[in-house]
């Protein structure tokens, strides 16, 4: 994978502004702390399905939650990016910064992206305060992902019509120590319950 971009901004004539509302104030107002729950896995693994189901369950509990989905983000914020290694890294860098803003605002943001490179996922984790980032590996066999592929992307990738496709013509680096692993072959409600149990303590 490509080298990560420099951490320091290009501009030098900037100064970080500090507001008067602390994280504890937002937690008190909302009744819960902000958190980023990062779903990673192959295309078709069930990331988005899980994220939207967890969002629904959290909102039903009165938790301010929102899903950032990989495809949806590429229609707007990241519409200028393709799927080269460099573009994939920039895609995740931007999303990581957005997640950090959501989390700082006190929301539970559920981020569903393939995010194939460990270094990119680790960089997003490093943006967050300790305990505010939860990496969820949606562990699904490749053959099942292909069976679930309603968009026909795997078939096109195997035919050479799509290049840089994670798991086929581009790498997917399995998390070495995720905060949680979900077996998406199990019933959806079981997976959602397990995720809720994990992310609901403490503060959510």
- Give the CA angle between residues 37, 137, 198 to the nearest 5°: 50
Residue with tokens 């199990």: 186
- Give the CA angle between residues 75, 95, 50 to the nearest 5°: 80
Provide DSSP, 40-66. E--TTSSHHHHHHHHHHHHHHTT--EE
Choosing from 45, 115, 166, 184, which is the catalytic residue? 115
Exposure pattern of 113-137 as b/e (b: 16+ CB <10 Å)?
A: bbbbbbebbebbbebbeeebbbbbb
- The yes-or-no answer on residue 28 being catalytic is no
What amino acid positions are annotated as catalytic residues?
Answer: 115
């Amino acid at each position: 994978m490509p080298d990560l971009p420099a951490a320091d901004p290009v501009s030098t004539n900037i100064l970080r502004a500090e507001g008067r509302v602390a994280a504890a104030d937002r937690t008190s107002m909302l009744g819960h702390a902000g958190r980023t729950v990062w779903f990673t896995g192959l295309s078709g693994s069930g990331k988005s399905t899980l994220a939207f189901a967890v969002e629904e369950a959290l909102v039903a509990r009165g938790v301010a939650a929102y899903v950032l989905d990989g495809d949806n983000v590429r229609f707007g914020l990241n519409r200028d990016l393709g799927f080269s290694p460099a573009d994939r890294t920039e895609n995740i860098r931007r999303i990581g910064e957005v997640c950090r803003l959501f989390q700082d605002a006190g929301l539970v943001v559920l981020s569903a992206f393939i995010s194939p490179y460990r270094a990119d996922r680790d960089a997003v984790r490093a943006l967050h305060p300790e305990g505010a980032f939860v990496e969820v590996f949606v562990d699904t066999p490749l053959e099942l992902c292909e069976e679930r592929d309603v968009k026909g992307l795997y078939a096109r990738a195997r035919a050479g019509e799509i290049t840089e496709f994670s798991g086929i013509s581009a790498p997917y680096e399995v998390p070495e120590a995720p905060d949680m692993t979900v077996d998406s072959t199990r019933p959806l409600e079981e997976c959602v319950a397990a995720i809720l149990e994990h992310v609901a303590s403490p503060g959510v």
